[in-house]
Amino acid sequence: MYKLFGTLNIPGDKSVSHRALILSSMSIGKSEITNLLEADDIKATIKILKQLGITIHKKLGKWIVYGNGTNGFLQPKKDLNALNSGTTARTMIGAVSSNPIKCRFTGDKSLSKRSMSRVTVYLEKLGARFKLTKNDYLPLKTFGTSKLIPEEITIKKPSAQIKTALIFAGLNMGGKFSIREKVLTRDHTEKLLKYLNVKHKIIKGKDGSNLIELKGPYEIYSKNIRVAGDPSSAAFFIVGALIIPGSKITLKNVMLNPTRIEYLKILKKMGGKISVKKTNNVSGEQCGNISVCYSKLRGININKLLSPFLIDEYPILSIAASCATGETIMNGVSELRHKESDRIKSIVLNLKKVGVKAKNIGDNIHITGSSSLNKKICKIKTFGDHRIACSFMILALLNKNIKIDNEKCISVSYPKFKKDLKSLLKK
């Protein structure tokens, strides 16, 4: 039987890669971006920015972006296709809404089923105008204006994409504009604003909320950006090492942003032997090395308040839970229904296929670990969801009878996943 052994450099973070490209495009001057994730989602953002008049090209392993300023997007001649990327669609809708241009956004079959009104409803409060398919979906038309009216917006459901879309719109908005999020979410956009010396305030409320204050329009001056390693991609190998006997790995240069590594606390609580060593700060984000070795895991109850910080890791956490002793309950995970697939359905359906007891009760997922997986050949239905595919490819290391129906979808976030996984496999 194979084990995971050795060291690995994790590719650039997907969330930061999107934001680095868009903020560099909204800056004045030339930026060099290193360690950019070259996945399908990021390629969609690059293509759309090029269509909006931004010059972007790759040279000697670096991505060069020539920014046109916060009011510098040009009228596109064709539809802007976000492919499978919700981050591309939602954040770019915000970015173009405060530029006086008209755009038509499209996406693939999966993205066209994901709600866009959850972003546009807030932008409309500022005076932005949109035309959505069935009042909610792509294709979507934006009617941009440089005369949006700033006010305080309160985001009701925690979403870093909604917050970022509003920030991008606010960068070209005249006057004081504030965004209140009742539940904290990923703060990569705010960290990049600070790194780029964009003056803004973050006021923490006594109720645990965050108020982000902007006063635009801004002139942002370009800086070179290095993208830290993606902690969500690291999670697959971490869980793999925890569940496969004899495994011992170290993952290098991984981003340690507190809003992204909550899953490490969960895995430690389950009994996982994990150590983290901080190394350096990369373009505003703390990085470090994560060492992991095989551990006997136990089921736990995961608080619903942690949901915004685990949204991309629930699929791989479900694999850890399936190999743990006892029951794991993931509480308040309704947001999983709005990802690349209905991940509640994807997780429960596929765990049952491999012989793990799993059920969905309301907004919760209940998983009872099993020491013996199904001996019959079973095909995992990924629903074209890259995180479901990668997660069950890890479980397949324990059981050769597990087959994945669509491995190609991993190119959305981690094109080199199979290659990197193979580099760690040792007999």
The reply to whether 6 falls in a domain is no
Please indicate, yes or no, whether residues 303 and 323 belong to a single structural domain of this protein: yes
Position 273 confidence tier, pLDDT thresholds 50, 70, 90 = very high
The answer to the question of residue 222 being in a domain is yes
Give residue 374's pLDDT.
80
Residues facing 9 on adjacent strands: 252
- Does 161 lie in the same domain as 82? yes
Are 333 and 366 within 8 A, CB to CB? no
State which of 226, 250, 283 marks the end of a domain. 226
Query: What's residue 262's pLDDT?
Result: 97
- Tell me, yes or no, whether 275 and 407 share the same domain: yes
118 and 135: one domain?
Answer: yes
Q: What percent of the chain has pLDDT over 90?
A: 95
pLDDT of residue 191: 98
Residue 1 domain-assigned (yes or no):
no
Specify if 124 maps to a domain: yes
Beta-carbon contacts of residue 82 (< 8 Å; ≥ 6 apart): 44, 48, 88, 89, 92, 105, 106, 107, 111, 138
222 & 239 share domain: no
pLDDT at 372: 84
Residue 264 confidence (pLDDT): 98
Check whether residue 154 and residue 280 sit in a common domain.
no
**Do 257 and 402 fall within a single domain?**
yes
* Domain-ending residue, one of 178, 209, 226: 226
259 and 385 in a single domain? The answer is yes
Which residues are annotated as catalytic?
312
pLDDT for the residue numbered 229: 98
Q: Indicate the burial class of 34 (C-beta count within 10 angstroms; 0-12, 13-18, 19 or more).
A: middle
Identify the domain boundary among 209, 226, 243. 226
10 Å CB burial of residue 125 (0-12, 13-18, 19+) is middle
pLDDT of 182 > 90? The answer is: yes
Tell me the percentage of the chain whose pLDDT exceeds 70.
100
Q: Are residues 43 and 166 in the same domain?
A: yes
The tally of domains found in the chain comes to: 2
pTM, rounded to two decimals? 0.95
**5 within domain boundaries:** no
Q: What is the mean pLDDT of residues 232-250?
A: 98
Same domain flag for 237 and 219: no
Q: What are the pLDDT digits (tens) for 1-59?
A: 799 999 999 999 999 999 999 999 999 999 999 999 999 999 999 999 999 999 999 99
pLDDT score recorded for residue 338: 80
Mean residue pLDDT of the chain comes to 96
What is the span of the domain harbouring residue 157? 14-226
Looking at the structure, tell me whether residues 222 and 233 fall in a common domain: no
Neighbours of 58 (CB within 10 A): 12
Query: 254: domain CATH number?
Result: 3.65.10.10
Together in a domain, 165 and 204: yes
One-letter identity of residue 268: K
Q: Would you say residue 4 lies in a domain? A: no
Mean pLDDT in residue range 370-381: 89
Q: How confident is the model at residue 373 (pLDDT cuts 50, 70, 90)?
A: confident
Lowest mean pLDDT among 195-204, 307-316, 332-341: 332-341
Asked whether residue 9 is assigned to any structural domain, the reply reads: no
Is pLDDT of 340 > 90?
no
Residue 159 domain-assigned?
yes
pLDDT score of 339 = 84
What's the whole-number mean pLDDT along residues 318-327?
98
